[in-house]
Amino acid sequence: MRMWNITVLVLALFISSCSDYANNPDSGIPDADSADGSNNSESAGDEGEKQTSVMVLFMVDTSQSMAVVDPHALRRTEVARAVNMHADDPRVRFAIMRIGSQVALLTDGFIVSLSTLNEAIIDLNTVQGMASYRDAFALAKTTLEESMTAERPVPNKRTRYCIFLLSDSMYEPGYNEEEALADWSSIIELGTHHGVKELEAHTALIMDPDFNPQPDTLESMIEFMSGLAEEGGGTFTNYHDSDYLDFEGTIVP
């Protein structure tokens, strides 16, 4: 099986690499007082001037393989970059998920508190086991659905959802690509089911340009991750080619 072979390769590299993997946690985002989201309420002006709320979900791979393929923790610095870029925009809220052998939502839903987001970003330094896409997709669906069914000042018809999956595409054995795509599709379908303004899902293959997988392995990774992006109506970014996510053009286009 493709994923099992990749896993054996990467875990072998991991064992031979430095056991004291630790990234500098200082490049998070600056602390600030939390906001209460009141600026997301409808304006008293014309309908066309009413604000749109933007909910951004980061699903970040923190499995052991990332210590090898992402030694400089691009996964963390990229999330920090996105939050910094929109820190002064009251329309934008973030949720951050960590994906390892155990999956966890590091924020209490979608939030604007920079101090809490900073703590969550630092937590992305952790590497643990093998990525459980099955559990990650289930948690993402629950998180999004809870937001879409909650009472909020800005209704779904004026709320935009952006999902970013940052990963090396290596996940647990026993969960095949067909199952993964079906579960991913069920996440995308939430937008239509709940009548949100937009829902886009973007993916990024997080891999240091100096890491050299076998060509057929890299091609398989790209095919899988780009397929998820296509299903989500979003963009695919290949960090192995030194590309970077266009947050300015995707979060608030």
3-state secondary structure of 7: helix
The 10 Å Cβ neighbour count of residue 81 is 15
Is the pTM of the predicted complex or chain greater than 0.85? no
- pLDDT at site 209: 95
Q: Domains along the chain? A: 61-250 (3.40.50.410)
pLDDT single digits (tens) 24-43: 444 444 443 333 333 443 33
pLDDT single digits (tens) 140-152: 999 999 999 998 8
Say whether pLDDT at 129 is over 70.
Answer: yes
Q: How far apart are the first and last CA of the chain?
A: 39
The CA-CA-CA angle for residues 111, 160, 190, to 5°, reads 95
For the chain, percent of residues with pLDDT exceeding 70: 81
- pLDDT at site 52: 87
CA 48/CA 20 separation, integer angstroms: 54
- pLDDT at site 253: 82
3-state secondary structure of 204: strand
pLDDT single digits (tens) 95-115: 999 999 999 999 999 999 999
